[in-house]
Amino acid sequence: MPFTSFKRVATTAAVVASALAPLASHAAGLDLSRYSLTSSFALPSTASESSAITWNWNTGTLFVVGDEGEYITEVTRSGTLVGSMRLSGFADTEALTYIGNGEFVIGEERIQDVYKLSYQAGTTVSRNSLQSVSLGATVGNIGLEGISLDRRNGQFVTVKESSPQAVQIGTIDFAGGTHTMTNLFTPNLGVSDLSDVQLLGGFAGASFADNMLIYSQESQRLLEVSRTGELISSFSFTTVSGIAEGVTIASDGTIFITDESPFVYALTATPVPEPETYAMMLAGLAAIAGVTRRRRA
């Protein structure tokens, strides 16, 4: 191999080696910079003023509630209506998370109470008939905005909208009516409010499984945040919707964000090459360089 070819191999190897550096950040996070808006769809009328969304990993479908608390609605990933359940006695539903076995936890913002319900399409459930736990005092329109289950250990994380913003973690005992929620970190994320949270614990074994997604409606930004409150990555929603509030993530990593119009927006990621791929490339280039040196010798 001529010297110029050897130099080209060395240059290529250096480029590949430099590409390994960003992998440290990719490994630490889901990396929202890889995501782009790929589709959107309108929700049915039962999801009017949609404020919260969650992924049912058993059915592979999405569930949404509106902030008037009239229905919990099930749709496919493309927006086709599957069914709905009427809610009675709710007034300000802003938080929703799936907890398995067809059960959900739904939260009221101002009174900051959470309720456990078993979804039954075509039926009506009364708020007073459900097991509930109070997570805080009654406040104005600045209270409980989001809740998410950590599938690995059964803990919950909640977010409070503002004055002050709060991110809390703990267990909720619906049978006993008690909880152990306490501050996880003091939010200093550079956003005006916190409107929903989605834990990434469902990706057990992934490097980002301890992180969470937090959405800010007023700042129109999706954040990936660590358990210590470190901002890992973000995605701007300013050109998409100014009235989005809810976020969830499917088992394949697709992120769904819902707004009050009511619409759902799907974000998908560009795959990141595995470190092993780069390692194989470097090994191959090193072998070529070695052969070249022997021939020149």
Residue extents of the structural domains in the chain: 33-271
CB 188 within 8 A of CB 229: yes
Cα–Cα–Cα angle for 174, 172, 186, nearest 5°?
150
Closest CA to 69 of 142, 136, 125: 125
Cα–Cα–Cα angle for 260, 151, 24, nearest 5°?
90
pLDDT in tens, 126-166: 999 999 999 999 999 999 999 999 999 999 999 999 999 99
CB atoms within 10 A of CB 249: 20
- CA atoms of 44 and 36, how far apart (whole Å): 24
Mean pLDDT, residues 68-77: 96
Residue 68 banded pLDDT, cuts 50, 70, 90: confident
Mean pLDDT, residues 37-54: 97
- CA atoms of 51 and 47, how far apart (whole Å): 9
What distance, in Å, lies between the first and last C-alpha atoms of the chain?
A: 12
Residue 23 banded pLDDT, cuts 50, 70, 90: very low
CATH superfamily of 33-271: TolB, C-terminal domain (2.120.10.30)
- pLDDT for the residue numbered 20: 42
The residue with greater pLDDT, 178 or 292, is: 178
Amino acid letter, residue 80: T
- pLDDT for the residue numbered 272: 61
- The owner of tokens 């409010």 is 193
pLDDT in tens, 92-133: 999 999 999 999 999 999 999 999 999 999 999 999 999 999
SS (H, E, C) the chain: CCHHHHHHHHHHHHHHHHHHCCHHHHHHCCCHHHEEEEEEEECCHHHCCEEEEEEECCCCEEEEEECCCCEEEEECCCCCEEEEEEEECCCCEEEEEEEECCEEEEEECCCCEEEEEECCCCCEEEHHHCEEEECCCCCCCCCEEEEEECCCCCCEEEEECCCCCEEEEECEECCCCEECCEEEECCCCCCCCCCEEEECCCCCCCCCCCCEEEEECCCCEEEEECCCCCEEEEEECCCCCCCEEEEEECCCCCEEEEECCCEEEEEEECCCCCHHHHHHHHHHHHHHHHHHHHHHC
Cα–Cα–Cα angle for 257, 263, 267, nearest 5°?
35
- Which residues have CB under 8 Å from 24's CB, separation 6+? none
- pLDDT for the residue numbered 17: 44
Structure tokens at 201: 């614990």
Residue 75 banded pLDDT, cuts 50, 70, 90: very high
